[in-house]
Amino acid sequence: MKEYTQRLLEIDAVDYLNMMGLVKKCWEVITNSGGLQKEAYFAKRLVIVLMSDTGWRELVEAGWNKSAGEENLEEMVIEDEIREYPSNLYGDDSAADKIVNHLKRKIS
């Protein structure tokens, strides 16, 4: 584990459950993992992406994720601000209810 500033901490790899526990307790995630970018969004955590191109462009376009090169990473972390959570980027959380209601109508 390396500490760069009071706000930036590098850790060794951990399993999924421990990672999600860490994500829930952090302010911001710095990653090059496409999967972790999406998981962090659902956990309502900001992300700095260490790739010039991300598979989740909608998160960058919504202003939730930011793209950074390693050369300005620490500056981005220190200067980062609170951003409004862009809800409903991936639906309105009603898909399961809609499926159940549709199945109930088909069975009746």
Phi then psi dihedrals of residue 32, to 5 deg: -115, 10
> What is the layout of strands, in order, in the sheet containing 46-49?
28-31, 46-49, 65-67
| CATH for 2-107, options being 3.40.50.2300, 1.10.10.10, 3.90.25.10, 3.40.50.2000 | 3.40.50.2000
| Confidence category of residue 5, pLDDT binned at 50, 70, 90 | low
Whole-prediction pTM = 0.74
Q: Tell me how far apart the alpha carbons of residues 81 and 37 are, in angstroms, rounded to a whole number.
A: 18
Q: What is the Cα–Cα distance from 76 to 78, expressed in whole angstroms?
A: 6
Share of the chain above pLDDT 70, in %: 85
pLDDT digits (tens, 9 = 90+) for 68-90: 866 677 677 766 677 888 888 88
